[in-house]
């Protein structure tokens, strides 16, 4: 399929170069325009801060860390128009590069670190911060020597889908500026609606069919079947971006769990006590472990399938870092941090990481062993992460983190480190490696964008450290805030449906098995899940997506179909493929705004729950947080109340209102996506 070049990019931007041919970027090397300026640094830091909070909330809530690079690029172009001198394209590259540190650091942190809270190990803020920051620094330093190979030597061979989309946005600055208005408006709509529903509880957002009356309640009691769905803008936007195919696979996994496995265990003759359990309890005790087993095997299959790629990537890594380097004429668009600087920083980082592990383990030997495992796995898998992003735009970091936990835990146990301390060390080590690989994969995208547009790699590399620093501090605060206000587990130790942190729950279960062989681990259920994942793979179904559907709460999966269906409809809304394509792109922008706005306002709701100083109120001698105070003002005394005229008065009516609002949002996305792209008149 022919790729349409964005305005201004050379004709050879997306194809392999002929012998002797050179790629001349959007801004040629000899042209000097503003790049690193106070506005690009400050806005980059602001983007890193805001999107780290938003990505952390969405990842812990739904198991999906939405991609921040494209919305940041759109906002960078739009915000530049506020100034008398508009941003140059290279200033926007710096903003995007600093800000994009948000999503990649979050992905590394939330996969593992919340498991420490779930295990009641309660890490300090500095533990979370240093795990994220040191991992991010290692990811940058291991990747820089590979930059020239991936972005220049493989030009036109590796497609870089995400980098292509971001480059088009930055290169077509005028249209992207108009798009920023759409993004901002949809962020406000999604954020305000979900804030009023979820935080203020003016209407219900948690639908299940027992709310429809006695017949549905009786049916659920007899069959143990239960249908649930979140009715929020957040999941509409997420489903749109995921797309109908993957949304359908995820929901299929969820339906297998809730409409096959839950009824089966509910009426199993060998599990008589299960007949008295609710569907939710059966899912938590018997079906969720099946999902965990499926996720684990799906991740391992991904590593096995990419084994040849991993081996070749190892070879590339050794050649690039330790092999002979030819001298290159240093021009602006090909200038990196010097190898001397990289080696020095890498040495300092490894010493700092060792000190971090030494403090954690209180042992020189354990600290050194943990450092060696971190170094070897990060070094070897960095090229795998970069290549995966360059080919399909998706980083298999979860599978590589799983391998890290297995290898690391086995070695630590053999060395004599187990129990609570062993679990804490293994999870923190997993977080360092996970963050390093996530950052490496994301950073190669930034560097490819810079290559196409003519940014100075030296500047991108220097200021990427700043983005990682901001994101590491922010994700630590976000995890702490969310755990303190919502919690990752319920009082009975089960995952909290309001903040399930699915990947961290998987890591928690796996680490319990690895570190405590005497624990009551449901190996048979894990095995059933593994068999399901294998069968899905044989049938050609994306095994990891199906497994996530089995593991995630049903109410988080089912609304994805709504958003995915809108995307499918827009793609078929016109016989003119160009019009349909523009409608899908507009819908993507609206969906991204709904998702990001809901996430940001969700963090606001969490902050209101944590606020217990002025102007919060005291009722019956008990200090209310600010959100409780707002509920109290609306006439509800006490904590965790509901609006008296809706939710607490009639839960069914309140949820019906939530369903109606969801339908309105759905229609609105379709309407506004097609509004400006009508059929051509004959």
Whether 275 and 341 map to the same domain: the answer is no
Q: Average pLDDT for residues 147-174, to the nearest whole number?
A: 76
Residue 214: Cβ-neighbour burial (10 angstroms; 0-12, 13-18, 19+): exposed
φ, ψ for residue 498, nearest 5 deg:
-70, -25
What average pLDDT does range 319-339 have in this prediction? Answer: 69
238 and 114 within one domain? no
Output the average pLDDT for the chain. 80
pLDDT over 80 (residue 677): no
| Residue 147 covered by a domain | yes
**Which residue from 285, 277, 242, 69 is spatially nearest to 167, judged by alpha carbons?**
69
Same domain? For 561 and 452 the reply is no
Q: Could you tell me if 173 and 48 lie in one domain?
A: yes
pLDDT of residue 326: 52
Task: Using the predicted structure, report yes or no on whether residue 141 has a pLDDT greater than 50.
Answer: yes
Q: What is the pLDDT of residues 33-75, one digit of tens each?
A: 888 999 899 999 999 998 888 888 877 876 666 667 777 887 8
Radius of gyration in angstroms for the set of CA atoms belonging to the chain, rounded to a whole number: 25
Last residue of a domain, one of 489, 508, 538: 489
Contact between residue 478 and residue 484 where contact means Cβ atoms under 8 Å apart: no
From 489, 519, 538, give the residue that closes a domain: 489
For 416-472, the pLDDT digits (tens) are 887 888 888 989 998 999 899 889 988 999 999 999 888 999 999 999 999 999 999
Q: Which residues contact 291 (CB under 8 A, 6 or more apart)?
A: 253, 257, 529, 547, 548, 550, 551, 552
Residue 294 lies in a domain: no
Please indicate, yes or no, if residue 387 is contained in any of the structural domains: yes
Of 418-432, 522-536, 634-648, the least confident = 634-648
Q: Could you tell me if residue 316 is inside a domain?
A: no
The answer on 194 and 166 residing in a single domain is no
Q: How many CB atoms lie within 10 A of CB 86?
A: 16
At residue 338, φ and ψ (nearest 5 deg) are -65, 155
* One domain, residues 168 and 121: yes
Q: Is residue 418 classed as helix, strand or coil in its secondary structure?
A: coil
Q: Is the pLDDT of residue 666 over 70?
A: yes
What percent of the chain has pLDDT above 90?
21
CA dist 101 to 111, 477, 522, 676, Å?
A: 16, 16, 38, 33
| pLDDT score, position 578 | 81
Do 484 and 368 reside in the same domain of the chain? yes
Distance, CA of 660 to CA of 654 (rounded, Å)? 10
Domain assignment present for 150: yes
What whole-number distance in Å separates Cα of residue 320 and Cα of residue 326? 11
Mean per-residue pLDDT for 223-237? 89
User: Domain range spanning residue 210?
Assistant: 188-281+554-675
What distances in angstroms separate CA 304 from CA 297, 379, 664, one per listed residue?
10, 18, 45
What is the rounded average pLDDT of the residues 532-543?
90
- Report residue 3's pLDDT band, with 50, 70 and 90 as the boundaries: very low
Q: Are residues 408 and 459 in the same domain?
A: yes
**Are 558 and 662 in the same domain?**
yes
Of 91, 77, 86, which Cα lies nearest the Cα of 37?
91
pLDDT at 349: 94
Q: Say if residue 473 is in the same domain as residue 350.
A: yes
- Pair 354, 406 in one domain: yes
Q: How many domains would you assign to the chain? A: 2
434, 466, 489: which is the final residue of a domain? 489
Q: Which tens digit of pLDDT belongs to each residue from 467-517?
A: 999 999 999 888 888 888 778 877 777 777 777 777 788 788 778 777 765
Asked if residue 354 belongs to a domain, the reply is: yes
Residues 167 and 92 reside in one and the same domain = yes
| Stretch 170-178: mean pLDDT | 62
What pLDDT digit, counting tens, does each position of 358-405 carry?
A: 999 898 999 999 999 999 888 877 777 777 677 645 555 666 677 677
Q: What is the pLDDT of residue 639?
A: 42
Burial-class residue 96 by CB neighbours within 10 Å (0-12, 13-18, 19+): buried
Domain presence at residue 520: no
Per-residue model confidence (pLDDT) at position 99 = 92
The answer to whether residue 253 sits within a structural domain is yes
Q: Above 50 in pLDDT, residue 335?
A: yes
User: In residues, how long is the chain?
Assistant: 682
């Amino acid at each position: 399929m022919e790729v349409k070049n964005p305005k201004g990019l050379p004709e050879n931007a997306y194809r392999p170069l002929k012998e002797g041919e050179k790629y001349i970027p959007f801004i040629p090397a000899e042209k000097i325009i503003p790049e690193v300026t106070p506005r690009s640094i400050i806005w980059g830091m602001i983007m890193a801060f805001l999107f780290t909070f938003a990505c952390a909330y969405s990842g812990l809530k739904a198991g999906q860390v939405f991609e921040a690079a494209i919305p940041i690029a759109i906002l960078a172009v739009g915000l530049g128009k506020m100034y008398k001198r508009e941003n140059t394209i290279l200033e926007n590259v710096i903003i995007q590069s600093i800000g994009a540190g948000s999503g990649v650091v979050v992905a590394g942190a939330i996969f593992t670190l919340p498991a420490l809270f779930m295990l009641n190990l309660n890490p300090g803020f500095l533990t979370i911060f240093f795990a994220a920051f040191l991992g991010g620094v290692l990811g940058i330093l291991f990747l820089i020597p590979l930059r020239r190979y991936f972005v220049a030597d493989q030009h036109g061979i590796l497609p870089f889908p995400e980098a292509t989309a971001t480059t088009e946005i930055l290169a077509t600055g005028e249209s992207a500026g108009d798009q920023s208005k759409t993004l901002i408006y949809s962020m406000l709509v999604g954020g305000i609606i979900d804030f009023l529903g979820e935080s203020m509880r003016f209407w219900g957002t948690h639908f299940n069919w027992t709310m429809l009356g006695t017949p549905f309640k009786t049916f659920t009691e007899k069959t143990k079947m239960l249908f649930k769905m979140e009715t929020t803008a957040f999941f509409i936007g997420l489903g749109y971006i995921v797309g109908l195919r993957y949304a359908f696979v995820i929901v299929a996994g969820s339906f297998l769990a809730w409409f096959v496995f839950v009824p089966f265990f509910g009426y199993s003759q060998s599990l008589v006590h299960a007949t008295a359990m609710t569907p939710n309890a059966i899912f938590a005790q018997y079906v969720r472990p099946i999902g965990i087993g499926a996720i684990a095997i799906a991740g391992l299959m991904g590593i096995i399938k990419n084994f040849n790629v991993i081996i070749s990537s190892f070879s590339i890594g050794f050649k690039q870092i330790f092999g002979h380097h030819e001298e290159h004429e240093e021009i602006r668009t090909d200038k990196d941090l010097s190898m001397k600087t990289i080696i020095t920083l890498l040495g300092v980082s490894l010493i700092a990481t060792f000190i971090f592990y030494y403090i954690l383990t209180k042992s020189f030997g354990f600290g050194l062993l943990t450092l060696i495992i971190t170094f070897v796995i990060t070094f070897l898998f960095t090229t795998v992460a970069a290549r995966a992003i360059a080919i399909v735009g998706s980083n298999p970091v979860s599978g590589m983190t799983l391998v890290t936990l297995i290898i690391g835990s086995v070695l630590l146990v053999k060395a004599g480190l187990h129990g609570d301390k062993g679990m804490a060390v293994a999870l923190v080590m997993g977080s360092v490696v996970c963050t390093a690989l996530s950052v490496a994969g994301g950073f190669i995208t930034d560097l490819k964008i810079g290559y196409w547009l003519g940014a100075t790699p030296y500047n991108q590399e220097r200021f990427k450290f700043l983005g990682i620093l901001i994101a590491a501090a922010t994700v630590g605060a976000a995890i702490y805030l969310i755990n303190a206000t919502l919690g990752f587990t319920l009082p009975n130790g089960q995952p909290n449906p309001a903040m399930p942190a699915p990947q961290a729950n998987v890591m928690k279960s796996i680490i319990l098995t690895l570190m405590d062989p005497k624990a009551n681990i449901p190996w048979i259920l894990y095995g059933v899940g593994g068999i399901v994942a294998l069968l899905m793979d044989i049938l050609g179904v994306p095994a990891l997506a199906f497994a996530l559907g089995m593991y995630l709460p049903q109410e988080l999966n089912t609304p994805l179909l709504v958003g995915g269906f809108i995307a499918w409809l827009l793609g078929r809304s016109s016989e003119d493929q160009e019009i349909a394509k523009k409608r899908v792109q507009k819908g993507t922008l609206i969906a991204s705004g709904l998702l990001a706005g809901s996430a940001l306002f969700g963090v606001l709701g969490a902050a209101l729950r944590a606020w217990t100083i002025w102007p919060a109120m005291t009722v019956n001698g008990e200090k209310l947080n600010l959100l409780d105070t707002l509920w109290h003002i609306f006439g509800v005394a006490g904590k965790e109340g509901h609006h008296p005229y809706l939710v607490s008065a009639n839960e069914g009516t309140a949820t019906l209102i939530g369903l109606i609002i969801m339908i309105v949002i759905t229609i609105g996305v379709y309407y506004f996506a097609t509004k400006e792209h009508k059929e051509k008149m004959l």
